[in-house]
Chains A and B, each alone.
Chain A
Amino acid sequence: MNQYLFDENRKIARALAVLAALVVAVGLLGGCGYKPAESTGDTPKDNASVESTEAPGSDAQEDGEGSEPVAMGRYVETVVDISEYSGLSHGITLLEDGSLLIPDEKAGQIISKDGGETWETAPIPGIPSMADFVKEKYIFDMAAAPDGTVAVLATNHIKDGGDFEPCSIHVAGADGTIHTLESLTVSEDEKFLYGIDFSPEGELFATVVGNGTIYQVDVESGTLTKYLTMEWRPDLIKFQGDYMFFLTSDEGITIYDRKEKKWVEDSALETFMKENYLDSSYYVNETYTVYMEPGEEGVLYIAGKEGLFRHVIGGSAIEQVIDGALSSFSNPSMGLCGLATFGENEFAVSFGSKVSLFRYDPDVPTVPENLVTVYSLEEWDAVRQAIAQYQTEHPDTFVRYEVALTGTDGKSREDAIKKLNTELMAGKGPDVIILDELPAKSYVEKGILMDLKPHIDGLTGDAVLLPNIVDAFTENGSVYMMPVSFSLPMVGGRQEDVEGITDYASLADTVERLREENPEAGICDFFSGEATVRWFLPVAATAFSDASGNIKEELVRDYLADTQRIYKAANEGISDSLKDQYRNQKNYYTQSASERSYYYHHLGDVGNTAADFLVGDTLLAAGMLYTTYGYQQALSMSHTADLSDVVFRPFDGMSEGVFAPSMLVGLNASSAHQKEAEQFFDVIMGTEVQSLLYDGFMTNQSALEMQLSPQWKVMQNGGLDVDYGEVSSQMGGSFGDGREFHLDIFMPTKEEYQALYDRCCKVHTPYVADAVVEEAVITIGGEYLDGYWSLDEAMQKIMAKVQLYMAE
């Protein structure tokens, strides 16, 4: 019996051993070994599309053999640039003769007679010069009827701080008749007319600012008749047969049957709008986040960032016709101005300076064959712009944008980085990586990133990048990342004060001297020790480490000592109102502000200091120049009588030639789609995308030249040309204590633009934050400024943390 049991035990043990060996062997061979990088094959559904059925870049498509037949047919986008004609466009209308007409505040009428391929301008009859017209009047809205009639709703510019005068409507009929309906008054609640729309039959309807009243305008008699009263003012009105469609912010799309005089229920449409377009306002800055246009009988098309959708009125389905992720619809820089259906299911979409034509191509795969993945911790509009541009140029490739920190899932930065690292180690990482706030240094050291130098050296013409920026990121002959844009540290104040500021220590000297000379004045706007230490890091942190990465303790000590001098001098003797202001800011900073808020920024926008200068709260300002508008604000102060000697100049602090790069683009060295990744790099670094950026100065040389040129100047002014050195706009407002300020914003002169361009071409020291070192300096340094530690104690604590970090 015992022998039997012993044999049985041995058998079981052997079986288990064999099984374990098998599991281990199979696992080692298949599960844990290195796997070559390959496409993730994810669907675009993750990001944008509402109804997508196939995975771009899926194995079946990539293999090309033994796979199921690839579905064919998709709308392909052609972009036509009309920026030379357009200023502010108001919709796009298909005329009875098949032409497309865009009413525009600069050109009057922009017309295409060949389905949108080519465009020409024509004045609106009765308005020979739109430039002269807009100098006298403020245009609320423009509209065109299918017969070619054009209407302009306008009022005189406000004078002496008054209110808008009653509106007028200029109606230029297709038959050459011109009607000018003057002084169209509405009730006090309704305030004034705001929008106009034509029905296909040529009836003109108008909305008002104050409420949801809809007026019908009798052009012949010049009278307004109340047609309908809604709860809220619609942003857009469209017509088809007996139906009247209203697009209303917060409400969605509602349908009114004009014949039956009742509202039409459409639950599918209501649900769709609620689920996809919850924006509080559909009409912002002269463009729409959602647009609608009736199509064939009983059909309504809805356009938005998700794409173009088709809905049969009363039906239960909303069908996606064009995927936003594969077209300009998802481009955040392209606001919808109008949509027209024409030809055989073709669409013309007005995006202001561009018109996109969508035509169905049966020979293009329904979903793109290739997939490129772009990864970033935070969402960047520039990436969205680049994706939309890339999709237009490469319809055979789908770009998937992975944003790690959406702000809705509670994921931390470190969680996201760990997940990314795991993917990179598994050879399944993204093809393009936006390296901001990622451990870029480690990625370079570990060989994760591709050397971009050969590719950058091959760029020619408009694609060339600023050589000084490329050199700044060149490390042992290789370039592993390039910023899309950058900003410049500046210091501003009275000329005699600013001239003495040559480095960080002299800034501290100047602040101390100003305090002595002005015992009770506001000097700099610093509201906590931590905020002050954080503020100046961009012009100091680049000097903290030597070439081999070791921290120079003496320079950190100098930085804290000088920052303490600035903080102390700035806060000594300030008025009670400023103390209150600082206290409120500190409370906001510590309790409410997120890490992404303005108050958390290193060197905030120098342009924002204009208001403080104007009311006398600031004698000196150090900050970052992010935009050309900030430059205009900074320079415009010298045009006021009291601040005529205020100047702004570059400020390098403890370093030299400092700039703060933004959006560092790197490519995955083990990507299976390197060609596509390089193409995406070209797009995001190209003139097309960079010229549409809101913030920063462009790394692309041509884009930067354009940014600092009349063309950009015109674009920034809504198409209205303003000469160098002329007033382009005004800014004004008031503080909580009632103090008011006003500033005319002047266009910089040619020389001032040139000086900025020269500076952009000279900077050579990139400020790329080392999160760990900075956190130690900010936290402990802030406590030192607030008096909790002596300088020696603070340095000891900082160095302990930094040395631990360096030791790892």
Chain B
Amino acid sequence: MRRQRTAFALFLLPSFAGVACFVILPFLDVVKRSFCTAVTGEFAGLKNYNVLFHNQAFLLAVKNTLRFTAVCIPLLVLAGLLVALPLSRLKNAGLIKSVYLFPMAMPTATVVLVWKMVFYRQGFLNLFLTSLGEITGLWGSVQVDYLGSGASLGVLVASYLWKNTGYTVVLWLAGILAVPNELIEAAKVDGAGRWSCIRFIILPNVKGSFYTIVILSFLNSFKIYREAYLVAGAYPQEDIYLLQHLFNNWFVNLEFDKMAAAAVCVCIFLFWGIMALQRLWDCV
């Protein structure tokens, strides 16, 4: 047993050292900087935090990021489940799964090009709607700037779902297929219908997958920034101005003090959120 523990420690050591060097230590430096001035490094107390909580850009970015997350994650989890459930009944769903995963394989630059072609004022969507209007005679030329108007959040959400649904489907499928078939068979013998099987057999058994999917979806939601930045720049329409935009702009303008304070706050919030989610899971 002692040898096993030593082996465990030895296995743990390299990754722990890596995390300590490349994550924990830099973060401690960020914590230190959050109490100091940006360039001179003089102690500033809580001034950076005070500035942060009165900064309208920060508050807007927090609001938008939370709103984006609150809209996207339930939609994604649900969409993934709705696709995964019928797929789980198919014996050979490999090709369909690949199709769903295809958006993830697309390079960001290509995705951005597609966005531009579809959502710009002279893009395909407006051309299609204009043609439809001409055919039906119900409306005239459509020249909506989707990325420069209130529709921008919808575009961002749709793009996030398009890109991440496949991955979520795969995760759901793994969970669903791991549910012992005997349980479902027994339930069916007892007269359970399709919906009852899902509600009373499958869903309770994929609780672990559900937790993983939510956490991964949450983390993936931060990656949408790349597309948003490449399409709409550092100062996009205010509904899609996210925390990452703010961090990027602060980095460019050398506002390291505010950025450090914001990073600490975000980290605390994330830690608290994940812990709360875990507790919620344990209760459920």
Contacts and interface: CB of A to CB of B under 8 A. Distances in A.
Asked if A and B bind, the verdict is: yes
Contact of A808 (B2, B121, B143, B250): B250
B20 A20 contact: yes
Contact of A8 (B2, B29, B56): B2
Interface in B225-250: 233-235, 238, 241, 246, 248-250
A425 B17 CA distance: 25
A24 B5 contact: no
B255 A442 contact: yes
B216 interface: no
A443 interface: yes
Interface stretch (B33-41, B132-140, B167-175): B33-41
Contact of B251 (A418, A776, A807): A418
A772 interface: yes
Interface string A415-454: 0011001001100000000000001001100111000000
A788 B121 contact: yes
B252 A417 contact: yes
Nearest to A421: B254
Interface string B120-149: 010000000000000000000001010010
Nearest to B20: A23
Given A24-B25, A28-B28, A775-B235, A808 B57 contact: yes
Contacts of B248: 414
Contacts of A9: 5
Contacts of A735: none
A343 B6 CA distance: 76
Contact of A772 (B2, B13, B38, B235): B235
A447 B40 contact: yes
A424 B1 contact: no
B41 to A, nearest CB: 6
Interface of B (DSSP majority class) = helix
Contacts of A780: 148
B254 A439 contact: yes
Contacts of B246: 808
Given A446-B39, A772-B235, A807-B57, A28 B254 contact: no
A32 B39 contact: no
Nearest to B235: A801
B254 A443 contact: yes
Nearest to A441: B253
B196 interface: no
Contacts of B1: 4-5, 8
A45 to B, nearest CB: 30
A593 interface: no
A70 B12 CA distance: 47
A23 B55 CA distance: 36
A772 to B, nearest CB: 6
Contacts of B6: 12
B250 A32 contact: no
Contacts of A127: none
Nearest to B248: A414
A16 B17 CA distance: 10
A469 B234 CA distance: 33
A775 B40 contact: no
Given A772-B235, A775-B235, A788 B254 contact: no
B183 interface: no
Interface of A (DSSP majority class) = helix
B9 interface: yes
Contacts of B9: 12, 15-16
A783 B122 CA distance: 13
B32 interface: yes
Contact of B253 (A5, A447, A788, A808): A808
A384 B24 CA distance: 43
A466 to B, nearest CB: 30
Contacts of A34: 41
A425 B20 contact: no
Contacts of B41: 34
B257 to A, nearest CB: 9
A23 B25 contact: yes
B186 interface: no
A356 to B, nearest CB: 42
Contacts of B151: none
Contacts of B26: 32
Q: How large is the interface on B (under 10, 10 to 19, 20 to 34, 35 or more residues)?
A: 35 or more
B238 A446 contact: no
Contact of A439 (B38, B235, B252): B252
Nearest to A32: B29
B256 interface: yes
A188 B259 CA distance: 73
A298 interface: no
Given A8-B2, A788-B143, A775 B233 contact: yes
A800 interface: yes
Interface string B90-123: 0000000000000000000000000000000100
Contacts of A417: 252
B219 interface: no
B16 interface: yes
Contacts of B66: none
Count chain B CB atoms within 10 A of each CB in A775, A803, A807, A808 and give the residue with the most.
A808
A549 interface: no
Interface in A756-808: 772, 775-776, 780, 783, 788, 797, 800-801, 803-805, 807-808
Contacts of A4: 1
Interface in A5-29: 5, 8-9, 12, 15-16, 19-20, 23-24, 27-28
Contact of B256 (A5, A425, A783): A425
Nearest to A26: B25
Given A775-B233, A807-B56, A447 B39 contact: yes
A32 B20 CA distance: 13
A448 B16 contact: no
B21 interface: yes
A477 interface: no
A772 B234 contact: yes
Nearest to B2: A8
Count chain A CB atoms within 10 A of each CB in B1, B25, B29, B41 and give the residue with the most.
B25
A31 interface: yes
Given A775-B233, A797-B148, A801-B235, 12 more contacts: A8-B2, A12-B5, A23-B25, A27-B25, A28-B29, A32-B28, A425-B254, A439-B252, A442-B254, A447-B40, A804-B56, A808-B249
19 contacts: A8-B1, A12-B5, A15-B9, A16-B9, A19-B16, A20-B24, A23-B20, A28-B25, A32-B25, A32-B26, A424-B39, A425-B254, A447-B39, A783-B145, A788-B143, A804-B238, A805-B249, A808-B249, A808-B255
Interface of B: 1-2, 5-6, 8-9, 12-13, 16-17, 20-21, 24-26, 28-29, 32, 38-41, 55-57, 60, 121, 143, 145, 148, 233-235, 238, 241, 246, 248-256
Interface of A: 4-5, 8-9, 12, 15-16, 19-20, 23-24, 27-28, 31-32, 34, 414, 417-418, 421, 424-425, 439, 442-443, 446-448, 772, 775-776, 780, 783, 788, 797, 800-801, 803-805, 807-808
